[in-house]
Structure 1
Amino acid sequence: MIVRQTPERAEWFSSGPPPRTVVFDSSRLQAVGTRPPLTEYLVQLWGSRHFVLYDARVRLSVSQEHTMLGKAWLVLNPALLGLTFLLIFGLLLGTRDGVENFIAFLLVGIMMFTYSSRAIVAGARSMASGRALIRGFSFPRAALPLSINVRDLMSQGFVLVAMIVMVLAIPPLEPISWRWLLLIPIVALQTIFNWGFGMLMAPLVHRIPDVGNLLSFAMRIWMYSSGIFYDPSRFVTDERWMLLFEANPLYQVLSMSRDCLIYGITPEWWQWTVLVVAAFGTWLLGLWVFWRNEESYANER
């Protein structure tokens, strides 16, 4: 088809407004999937808070839906594990000797440590479990380990209530004290530590999935070295080894929780210092490592 330009058409084109030059600043544009600056990344993470809360609630609601007892297993699992430790270590091996109210001592230790074990392992595996979301949507990837930790914090709420009821119901009965309120900042610092450690391990587990299995094994070693079913001061005579126990943030979580709930003792300032430094130091390091690897999480493997 041949289009001929008539004088009328030429006049119609020339009567329009003159073309304008639009200046567009492309200096702040980024390719899709690139890592933003850390401060901007934190702003984006805060903007994802509604997604984090929704995802945490969904994860919590479906976590035990395939079982008959449902969320009761959040309490039954550590309670049954505690019964096993009580029979083997407390009665057969005598680790309860010299420990006041050993049953409460054991229950508090297991229920508090299981929270960290569950949250750290799940947070480290968050990139693999959330692969579909990562490849389908654009959002700060740190929202996934955060969502998992929020879910586990919600789950721990049921466990804490059950733990307090057990401390009140199982002889010898412990009196209610204002120190029980100190459990709130202890759990808050523990949660920050869990999130930071999960982010620290997530890039490595993403690259080498076998590390996830090794991490589960490492958490068992961590559990046995945190004084779950024994008082380290009864078995450790070298002060240098005792310093290693006291530098262990999860040992401090257990020790401080027991002091507040069972023994009516206010944790000392140096214990708070160890836990605060470990929690925020691990979180800052974990966030930086996780952010540095942000661009690798959507890679096909």
Structure 2
Amino acid sequence: MSSRSVAARIPRVAFGRAGRLGAPLGLGVAVLYMSLVVLIPLAALTAGGFEEGWSGFWEAITGDAAWAAVRLTLEVSLIVTLLNAVMGTLIAWVLVRDRFPGKGIVNSLIDLPFALPTIVAGLTLLALYGPRGPVGVNVAFTKAGIVLALLLVTLPFVVRAVQPVLLELDGEMEQAAASLGAGPFTVFRRIILPNLLPAVIGGSGLAFSRALGEFGSLVLITGNIPFQDQVASFYIYSRIESDDRQGAAAVSVFLLVLSLAALLLLSALERWTSRHAR
């Protein structure tokens, strides 16, 4: 073997050894970080929820006020998720397929709920749709106000999930279907929608999970009245104020389970629709 080939091989050998050494190190750092930030806090929360055993956990989540708050949270989260699945897809379609003045500004505004403090979003809605709002519509301290606030903070999840898929869609397939006599609705239903559905489901799952635990945008626009407009996050906060940490932890664990179950279910549905789209 020539000296040149030996010299050329040395960096590759060194890189291979560094890669083998770096993989366990990187995995260890990732696991440690995830443990400190996610796993250990969740384990502590779960332990707090079951501090009084299964009976105490069940009693905490099935109490009248707790269950009313959880039920209301589920109802508005489902409504918000369905609305944003439709409207988020439509907005993503307009941003990708249409051209209009100010398109860049509108596209940037989609991410505004991510950048703004959530309480600012609530204050904005209160100023516009509150008792002194200029539009003459007052949804403050109502369930409609909760839905409106959650629509605002969860919209970007669906839009940003659908946009990349629309950008990557092959326009030649749509043109070929149209040349064979397929109408716009048929093209959308048979070609576009099957490709968009996994992204819509993924974005909707994230929106649903966010809606379940939203707090900041609801502070100013809800009355936090039990059995009327008190959502689960506010119930948890009220339990903390009443020094009922076990009750707060139990409802938190229940919400966590609901959110995780929804994400797993939608992830499985997303994979199934992806296979059938191919």
Instruction: Say yes or no: TM over 0.5.
Output: no
Is the radius of gyration larger for structure 1 or structure 2? 1
- Structure whose residues are more often helix by fraction: 2
Normalising by structure 2, report the TM-score: 0.30
Q: Which has the higher contact order (CA 8 A, sep 6+)?
A: 2
